[in-house]
Each structure stands twice: as structure tokens, then as C-alpha cells.
Structure 1
Amino acid sequence: MREDHEIFDLVSAIEAAEGKGTTFYSWLDVPASASTAQIAKAYRKKSIQLQCVDITILNVASALLTFLANSPDKNKGVKNAHERFARLGVVSAILRKPESRKRYDFFYKNGVPKWRGTGYYYSRFRPGLGTVLVFLTLVSSVLQYQVQRLNYRRDLKRIEWIIDQARSAAWGSKMIPLDGQRKVKVNLGGGSRLDEDGNVVGGKMVDMIVEGNSVYILESDGGMITVDSNTAVAPSLKTTWFPSLVIHILGRVTKRGTPTDDGPTDNGDAGETEDGSATTSDVPGSGAVTPKEGTAPALKNGRIATTMAGGRRRKAVKKR
């Protein structure tokens, strides 16, 4: 409420000028139960004190004349006399009105809240457009980073579940490791479900290879992709939208300023070493996300999407 905001400002200003813990009543030197007449009398006395007028007996008429003759602007001997006098008038007006005094008495008894509402602070500080944009950028980037952390934890649990399913199918319920390679089919769809006609439909079945403690996705061409914790994309502030945008723009600018290289190019063999073996650069789906909870792994051209670190591909193996 606007009235509450006025009270909040006065409380802060009076404590800053008159001392910590100073209240409307203590500043006027009256009890909290003082009547309107007592408050009016205390106001006149306090106003005279602020004007540094040395008087002994003063009636209402002379007090009014003194107020007009000795305005705060003429009183340069009192520190911040104008501000204090104006503040005193507002305090007196609040305590003289029943509704506003009732609002103040509530905060007087219960204390002024530390958080006074977004509207209160916005109306006081009035942040500019630049400040608002910076604030929104920071908040959205931090929130996106938190979402990345949640997704990363979820993906790690999903990967552990896939590995456990593959090992269970290869080793049996006792989970005793066996030597050699074991080709198994793993349901990555989270179990069977019912279709629209009420028929039982199995989940996504994927061919996998278990070799020792290592687990691989078996591709249609016989290649194998490692499934481990490195497959999950770790959270990073660099991958949030604003740093990514800045890095992208800087990359474009740098690329434009770099002269082109007219040297010889390869013939598509950059993804192979001298002995002809494949490297991680020719792994289909490198850099994509990990499988989501309750669904089959993300596939691209029939192959599971992996990261550069986790998507290690092996040569084709002879299927047993």
C-alpha cells in the first residue's frame, strides 16, 4: 500500500537521522497511548526545538507566529533543519489521523518488514533499461545452468540404469561378471506399455555388447559406441544462452578477419588415421544429448547420439 510505503520511508529516515530505534512516539517524546491533543502539543514543542527558539511560555497563537517568523530555511544553525522539520510535519499528520495511526501502530508493535515488496523497491530505485536487461540476463543464465545440472543428474541416472540392464541381461540376476563379449537386447523404453487397442507393446529394443565392465551400443554396421558417464553433457556456464551468443558472435567476427587457406585439402579422409582406423570425428551424432528418462535413446540415422568424450566408436566386431 502507498500509505505503508510512506511509513517505511519515514521509519528509515528517522532512524538514520535521530538514531537507531527512534520511533514516531519517542521522537515526539509522547507515549504510544497519547491522545491527538497530546500529539499536537508535542509537535508544536518539537517544532520550536528544531527552530532553536528560546522561549519559556508559549500559547497556541504565539507558537503559530513563531513558526511563521522562524522558518527552517532561516535556521542555518541546525543540521538538516529543513528535512527534519518537514519530516516532523509528516509524522504529526500520520499520528493525528486514526487510519494512518492504526497502520503505524501495527508496524510499531510488530516491526517493519525487511522485505517490503517488489513494487516498493522498484518505485524507490527506478532501475534503467540497461540495469533491467543485465539483471534478466544474469537470472535467465543462472536458471538455465540450474536446469542443465538437473538434466545432467537425470542423464547420469539414466546411463547407470542402461548399463545395469545390459549387465543384468548378459550376466544374469546374480550379476557375476563373465569373460568375453556378450551380445544382448536391452529394452530402453522403460518396459512394456498398452497401445490404443489395449495390446501389449514392448519398449525400444537395442542391441548391446557387454565386454567385461564395459557396455556398448551395437550399430547396424557392427560398430560399437561406448555407454558411460562421459556420454552425459556436463553443465557449464559457457553453454548458457548469453555466453554462447557472445562466443558465437566473436567466432564469426574472428572468422571474417582470418584469411582463407588455399592449401591442399583432404579428400574426406580427415576422420581416419594412417592405419585407416576411425577417429571420434567420424562418429555419427557426436555432440548430441543423452537418452531421456522413460524413452529410447536419441537416435540419428539409427545410431545413438553421444558426446565427443563418451561416444568412442570401435571397429566392427564379429557377432556371435
Structure 2
Amino acid sequence: MRLLFLFAFVALLATLAHAWEKEDHEIFDLVSALEAAEGKGTTFYSWIDVPPTATTAEIARAYRKKSMVLHPDKNPGVKGIQERFARLGVISAILRNAEGRKRYDFFYKNGVPRWRGTGYYYERFRPGLGAVLVFLTILTSGLHYIIQRMNYKRDLARIEHIIQQAKLTAWGPKLVPAESRRKVKVNLGGPPRYDAEGEVINGKSIDMVVESNGEVFILADGDLIPINTSTAPPPAISKTWFLALLSSLFGRFVPRKASASDADGEDAGTGEDGETGTDSDMPELEYPELNGNGSGELKGRPVAVKTAGGRRRKVTKRR
């Protein structure tokens, strides 16, 4: 919803910016140049010294009077006098023209817009290829970060829903913790499917284990994988596409120095006969099984639990 509102706002700005014509942009430039040279808040009328209600004849007389004061021949060696004199002629021409004065009076009463369209700024500043690439990189990286945040919020809601469903299945609607861990099957939802006999299969289900202390695990290939709010990867600026690309290139072309922990790990993995140990040398761990009574209670045998670091820890039934 917020993203839709943002797109609508940008579309509105683009529409307004497209509405300004060449003559409007000329007035924008004159207003900026006049305030920069004569002071903030200086208007066409105040500089020529006439009221906004002045007639065309009054404006012409005021112009002749002001032009005599600013004429370059009467101000030899004065810095910027040529630009001021030329600007006076352009401003006087706008105010003495009915259409030009009508345009200026609109901005005089309502104010000159701060955003004047990308075309206006591009024509005046003409960014180079490098500036354009930097702008596009920042823009796309910012959008990538916004998408990360949206996905993170969606993943958190999904994880909390799965945990809640697992606890409801294991403990019942009152959510009274069981005395022992329980294995349950949680439906992840999704569109219904049909088997070969035409029976309805309501979405995809996964096996989960709910501990008595409230910890929830996914049971996959005999391994218990913890699931909680830390499971979802949080958004980070370093994960945006450009910084991630730089990090990948840096890691590829710059060799990583071996740390002390790496050296210890190599020593620990080498046996007395000089051979390196592997995971296949480790003893097999027993996996959880359902009790024969069909209650969903798991036997108190040790099970393998995967952690983020890739190691395993034994979890036994609490007595």
C-alpha cells in the first residue's frame, strides 16, 4: 500500500512537472537569478519599483528610469552590471506582455515551485555519465533495501504463523504446554492438490517438533532445525545489490588470510596418522521416533539438531 502511494505521488509530480512550459522555465530562471543578485525576496515589481497593479505605461516609465541607473556606460568597471542591465530588459519585456505578465503573476501570488521537473534540471546542469550511473546505483539500491524490508516483514509474519500453528496442534486451543516434546504436522497452506485417485490434498505440510519449553523445530531428514524470529534474514544496506557485488568481487580477487581459528581447526581435524578427519568419521546419531501409542509424544532418545554454525547438539527428553 505504501509503495502504491509512493508511485502515485511520483506520477503526480511528473504530471505537474510536465505542465510547465518553456516560458515558465524562463521565469523560474529569472526569479532565481534576480534573488541571487539583488537579495532574497526581490520580485520583478519591487526591483523595477512599481506596484503589482501598475499599468503597462507605468512599467515602461519605471523601466526607462531604472535602465538609466544600470546602464553599463554610466557604471564603468562595475562587476556584473552587464548581466543586471540585460536582466532588466527581459523582466520589463515580460511585464509589458499580457501573456508573460499573467504567467508571472501566477507564480508571484502562489510562489515558484521547488520541483520544476527532471527535464528542467537536466537542461541546466547536464549531468555526466558518471553522475547518472551514481544516481541510478543509489536509486536502485534504495529500492532494493525497501524490498528487503517488505520481504523481512512478510517472512516474520509467516514464521510467527507457523510457530503458532505448531503450538496449537501440539498443545491444543488453550495452548497449555505439554510435559514432553511432541511431533506434529503443520499445514503450510497453498492451493489444494489432488492425488492419483482424485482425493483432495490440502496444501503442503511439514513435520515439526514442539518442546515443552516452547521451542519449535522443523523435522527434516531426521534433523531438528530451530525456527524463530531470528530465522528470517534481516534487511541490511550491505546486502543491497551494489555493495553485495563489491563484497563478492573483493572476496574473489583478494585472498583471505588464514586466521588462528582456521589453523586450530586444521590441527584438530588431523589424526595421529596424519589423516584428516571428515564428517563421515563421526558416529551416527539416533533420530526421534513416535511412541507406539500414537499420542504424538517423542521418545527420549538423543536427536541431531542443526544450528546456524553447521554443528550439531544432542537434545534429550526432559524428565
TM-score by length of 2: 0.72
1:223 touches 1:317 (CA, 8 Å); kept in 2?
no
Q: How does 1:146-157 map to 2 (within 5 A)?
A: 146-157=146-157
2:207 touches 2:218 (CA, 8 Å); kept in 1?
yes
Is the partner of 1:114 in helix, strand or coil?
coil
CA gap of 1:235–1:312, structure 2 versus 1, over 3 A, is farther
- Per-residue displacement from partner, 1:112-167 (whole Å, max 9, x unpaired)? 11222222222222111101111111111121112111211211111111111011
CA gap of 1:164–1:269, structure 2 versus 1, over 3 A, is farther
1:308 positional shift: 3.0
1:234 positional shift: 1.3
Cα distance in 1, alignment partners of residues 283 and 242 from structure 2: 40
CA gap of 1:224–1:257, structure 2 versus 1, over 3 A, is closer
Cα distance in 1, alignment partners of residues 73 and 284 from structure 2: 90
Greater displacement, 164-173 / 11-20? 11-20
Cα distance in 1, alignment partners of residues 82 and 218 from structure 2: 80
Aligned to 1:33: 53
Is the partner of 2:54 in helix, strand or coil?
coil
2:169 touches 2:186 (CA, 8 Å); kept in 1?
yes
Aligned to 2:217: 216
2:193 touches 2:203 (CA, 8 Å); kept in 1?
no
Percent identity, please: 59
1:97 positional shift: 1.4
2:181 touches 2:209 (CA, 8 Å); kept in 1?
yes
Is the partner of 2:207 in helix, strand or coil?
strand
1:20 positional shift: 2.1
Cα distance in 1, alignment partners of residues 279 and 33 from structure 2: 71
Aligned to 2:243: 243
1:255 positional shift: 3.7
1:316 positional shift: 9.4
Cα distance in 1, alignment partners of residues 134 and 74 from structure 2: 46
Which sections of structure 1, spanning at least 5 residues, go unmatched? Answer: 52-71, 279-305
1:110 positional shift: 1.2
TM-score by length of 1: 0.72
Is the partner of 1:32 in helix, strand or coil?
coil
CA gap of 1:268–1:129, structure 2 versus 1, over 3 A, is farther
Cα distance in 1, alignment partners of residues 25 and 110 from structure 2: 16
- Aligned partner of 1:21 among 33, 41, 65: 41
1:216 touches 1:226 (CA, 8 Å); kept in 2?
yes
Which sections of structure 2, spanning at least 5 residues, go unmatched? Answer: 1-20, 259-265, 286-305
Is the partner of 1:184 in helix, strand or coil?
strand
Equivalent residue pairs, number? 264
Cα distance in 2, alignment partners of residues 144 and 10 from structure 1: 39
Aligned to 1:46: 66
Cα distance in 2, alignment partners of residues 268 and 159 from structure 1: 39
Is the partner of 1:186 in helix, strand or coil?
strand
Cα distance in 1, alignment partners of residues 233 and 307 from structure 2: 7
Q: CA RMSD of the aligned region, Å?
A: 3.3
1:185 positional shift: 0.9
1:207 touches 1:217 (CA, 8 Å); kept in 2?
yes
Greater displacement, 122-131 / 161-170? 122-131
1:225 touches 1:314 (CA, 8 Å); kept in 2?
no
- Per-residue displacement from partner, 1:154-212 (whole Å, max 9, x unpaired)? 1111111111101110000110011212111110125x7477xx975411111111112
Does 2:103 correspond to 1:83? no
Cα distance in 1, alignment partners of residues 146 and 284 from structure 2: 39
Does 2:205 correspond to 1:205? yes
Point out which structure has higher relative CO (alpha carbons under 8 A, 6+ apart).
1
- Per-residue displacement from partner, 1:30-59 (whole Å, max 9, x unpaired)? 2222222222221111110113xxxxxxxx
Aligned to 1:303: none
Is the partner of 2:254 in helix, strand or coil?
helix
Cα distance in 1, alignment partners of residues 226 and 106 from structure 2: 66
Cα distance in 2, alignment partners of residues 270 and 142 from structure 1: 43
CA gap of 1:194–1:224, structure 2 versus 1, over 3 A, is closer
Aligned to 1:11: 31
